[in-house]
Amino acid sequence: MSLFARRTQLYEGYTVHIALDSSVLPYHLLGNGDPNHGSCFDPTCQDRYFRDALVWDGIAENNCRCDMPRARVIHMDRIRLVRDQALAELDVPFMLALEAGDPVEQQRITEEKQSLRDIPQTFDLSKYRTPNTLKASWPSEILPLPY
């Protein structure tokens, strides 16, 4: 037993560990991607976008499956990151419009910022049933795709 396995056993109370051949693991666990968000630049490979949503399931074909409620939270968190950047980018134009005394531009930017703030409440992720369709869903009319 390796030192890591013994420490895991001692600290977390595990008495059994499982080792699988990498050919039976799902593509989400294999390391072939961009470290920023797990996407592979080769169009033939899959990515690890929802790696933190994988759960052990002895019934599934490869013993792992994507927990969709957890994947939806992960995806919304990534949408929020891009949304927060877009909100920060609108601060300077708003201050310039405020200094110039342009109420039309102030109103336009205020409405745009409000639509960005409303994304978590208005963009429904519950209708997506697979990881691929969930990842493809993005509020592109408001935010640019990050990948």
Average confidence score pLDDT of the chain: 75
For the stretch 4-55, pLDDT in tens is: 444 445 555 554 445 445 555 554 444 444 444 444 444 444 567 888 888 8
What average pLDDT score do residues 68-88 get?
92
Place of tokens 């759960």: 55
pLDDT of residue 3: 46
Evaluate whether residue 7 is within a structural domain.
no
Residue 66 has pLDDT above 90, yes or no: no
The token duo for 93 is: 């134009």
How many other CB atoms are there within 10 angstroms of residue 105's CB atom? 15
pLDDT of residue 142: 75
Share of the chain above pLDDT 70, in %: 63
For the stretch 88-106, pLDDT in tens is: 999 999 999 999 999 999 9
What is the number of domains present in the chain?
1
Classify residue 49 by burial, with Cβ atoms within 10 Å: 0-12, 13-18, 19+: buried
Evaluate whether residue 72 is within a structural domain.
yes
Burial 112-145 (b: 16+ CB within 10 A, else e): beeebeebeeebebeebeebeebbeebbeebbee
Evaluate whether residue 117 is within a structural domain.
yes
Query: What's the domain range around 101?
Result: 68-136
Please count the CA atoms within 13 angstroms of the CA of 132 that sit on its side-chain side: 2
Evaluate whether residue 11 is within a structural domain.
no
Give backbone dihedrals phi and psi of 61, rounded to 5 degrees, phi first.
Answer: -55, -45
Evaluate whether residue 10 is within a structural domain.
no
